[in-house]
């Protein structure tokens, strides 16, 4: 794959180098990891839609309102998915 150059401030470059040094890796790999881990708004929307579909399939609905009465059920649902049921 062809390489390209990205211009950043000296402070950003130095920070990326410090992160890379602590990770025993390169700035190139630090930037690649950041790009791979950062979701776009479209990816976030898709993840949210998949989550809502999974909750609906399990019979759990959650309003966007934090005071939603189904909030505890939704939190229990996610805890179960994550293997942290209490």
Q: How far is it, in rounded angstroms, from Cα 55 to Cα 5?
A: 43
CATH (residue range 1-38): 1.10.1220
DSSP letter string, 34-73: HHHHPPPHHHHHHHHHHHHHHHHHTT----SSTT-TTHHH
What's the pLDDT tens digit per position in 14-64?
999 999 999 999 999 999 999 999 999 999 889 988 988 888 888 877 666
CATH 1.10.1220 domain span(s) along the chain: 1-38
pLDDT of 86 > 60? The answer is: no
pTM: 0.57
């Amino acid at each position: 794959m062809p390489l390209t150059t990205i211009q950043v401030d000296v402070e950003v470059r130095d920070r990326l180098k410090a992160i890379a040094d602590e990770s025993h890796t390169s700035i190139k790999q630090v930037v690649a990891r950041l790009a791979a881990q950062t979701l776009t708004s479209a990816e976030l929307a898709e993840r949210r839609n998949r989550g809502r579909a999974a909750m609906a399939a399990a019979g759990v609905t959650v309003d966007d309102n934090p005071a939603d009465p189904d909030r505890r059920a939704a939190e229990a649902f996610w805890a179960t998915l994550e293997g942290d049921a209490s």
